[in-house]
Chain A
Amino acid sequence: MRRWTPRTHLAGLVALAVAACARGERVPVRGGVAVTDDAGRQVTLAAPARRIVSLLPSFTEILFATGAGDRLVGRTTWCDYPLEALAVPSVGDGMPPSVEAVAARRPDLVVLYRSGPNVTAAEQLERLGIRTVLLDLNLLEELGPATRRLGTLTGHSRAADSLARVLDSLASQPPVSSTRSVAFIVWDNPAIVIGAGSYLDRLAALAGARNVFHDVGSPSAQVSIETIAARDPDFLAVLSDSAGPPAYASRPEWRVVRAVRERRFLFLPGQLFGRPGPRAAEAIRELRQRLEAAAR
């Protein structure tokens, strides 16, 4: 955070100037749009947003999927799907966002994931007179509501509603009865796994695989290799774009885990599985196919 300080001061000065000019202009305009975001703020625009900066790959995907991709004027370096997104200028990695780089794109709406540093960044942008919307996006069931609100703000309500309906129905599906079990290994030393209260846990349930760490209440947790061995998952899911076995697979302490010994790895590309997105149904289908292929 420290490296932002000079910029913050500069932003503050500019904000004072802008605020002085813009005061008293908040008259609701015909054709305006409004939503309540997940920070509990009322976000009103005089007209659907025309210049949008998206600071999360998931939002970028949703905007393209609802036909608002051509309104994007800024994205993060992580926003790599769909391919058209790569043509949009990047404003950095977004963690935390560079307020100056975002403001330089002259957006009329900035879409941020609700997190501590992002709330601060949103306040700074608002002081510059740039409207922001803060949305939660950790879980499958948060995709629908986020999509609907983005649809309203971009004036693509119809497309957004139909996508949101698909996502909502996916989120309300009961878990498929599962014969196979899986553990998501995010990191190996210390071993970190995905628990319940996460997007991947839900995807696995809908694809017919039981997450052996479903009893862990937090999205991710440090566990010992011994616990993984004792839970004895049929498969280890690895978020990786390459299909080679992970480096720890050859280490003796990991070979106590049956799935490591039997080389039962599921390689899940980060672009599809690493984030909640409008392609959730595709991700579930893909995971189910991989499970079936691996079980053969």
Chain B
Amino acid sequence: MKFVPLAAAALATLAAALLLGPANVPLGDLTASPIIWQLRLPRALLAFLVGGALGVSGVGLQALVRNPLADPFLLGLSGGAGLGAVVAIALHLPGPWALPLAAFVGAVGAMALVYRLGLIGGAELDPRILLLGGVAVGAFAAAITTALVSLAEATELRNAFLWLWGGFSGASWTTVLVMLVYAPLPLVVLVAAARPLDLLALGEEPAQYLGADVRRLKQLVYLSASLLTAAAVAVAGVIGFVGLIVPHMCRLVWGRLHHTLFPTAFLTGGIFLAAADTVARTVVAPRELPVGIVTALLGVPLFAFLLRRWTVS
């Protein structure tokens, strides 16, 4: 039952995203206008899917490392994606997909490296080693990125950073399709891990005694959450804050059980990012704000409000 209001809010947000925009589309032309079909609809759907993916990925990673500061991009993924994107530009790789694909490869590369580092502490993936490995790999990738930027021609690379800071300017049906084809598998894996993740919250040993295969669980959750984030990077760049705040919001409102947390985090993340993108497109029209600014400006006060309300009661 708790999903009905959320689902309704999701539909309302998507409807608002379709109706609002800098271009004036008469209501009668709504179904025929290419502005709706080719621009607003794919953009709204993509923002929703990416927001949902980041929300779910954040829930999974926070449960895995049992650290409230964990963010899908904390484990080196944004650094890897940035390096991939900058390499694609510096090497002048051709084609419209070169940049997102390179960012994806970079993110997955960083993920593999952090994962390998995590295994040093044993196959059960010590969260402390994962976090430290993530920060270290991220810093290393950022250093190489900065070296490339300071040595190569500047204007194109500045633009690469614009892309990397995230946004849905390049949304199209192709990018929606990429998310639709790619996201379900890691999503299903994560949702299937809901019950063992609840056990993991009790601690690794209790979870083991209660019948969870902790080692396998952590590997699956880590890989799924990271692959989901890497896909989000490929279609929308690095959009911070959603994967950090949305899981906390959902935990505050709907409790800590993962079988509710995953769906609510998907819907809340989707609503949040689709709404933020609508604001980004319209509030300073004809100009456009980077969506990451809006997510932080909207999200922080909302989060502070929730935090106050739920910790007081």
Contacts and interface: CB of A to CB of B under 8 A. Distances in A.
Interface size class of A (residues with CB under 8 A): 20 to 34
Contacts, number: 90
A225 B22 contact: no
Contact of B96 (A226, A248, A256): A248
Interface string A222-261: 1111110111000000000000000110111101100000
Nearest to A247: B96
A256 B39 contact: yes
A222 B288 contact: yes
B42 interface: yes
Contact of A189 (B23, B35, B163, B173): B163
Nearest to A252: B172
A13 interface: no
A214 to B, nearest CB: 11
B172 A224 contact: no
Nearest to A255: B38
Contacts of A188: 170
B154 A187 contact: no
Contact of A252 (B23, B173, B290): B173
B287 interface: yes
B286 A223 contact: yes
B21 interface: yes
B102 to A, nearest CB: 14
Contacts of A93: 153-154
Nearest to B25: A230
Residue from B40, B42, B167, B170 with most neighbouring chain A CB atoms (10 Å):
B170
Contacts of B42: 253
Interface string A91-115: 0010100000000000000000000
Contact of B285 (A189, A227, A256): A227
Contact of B172 (A229, A231, A247, A251): A251
B288 A95 contact: no
- Which of B24, B99, B286 counts the most A-chain CB atoms under 10 A from its CB? B286
Given A226-B40, A253-B171, A216 B286 contact: yes
Given A3-B150, A187-B162, A256-B38, A225 B169 contact: yes
Contact of B22 (A187, A226, A253): A226
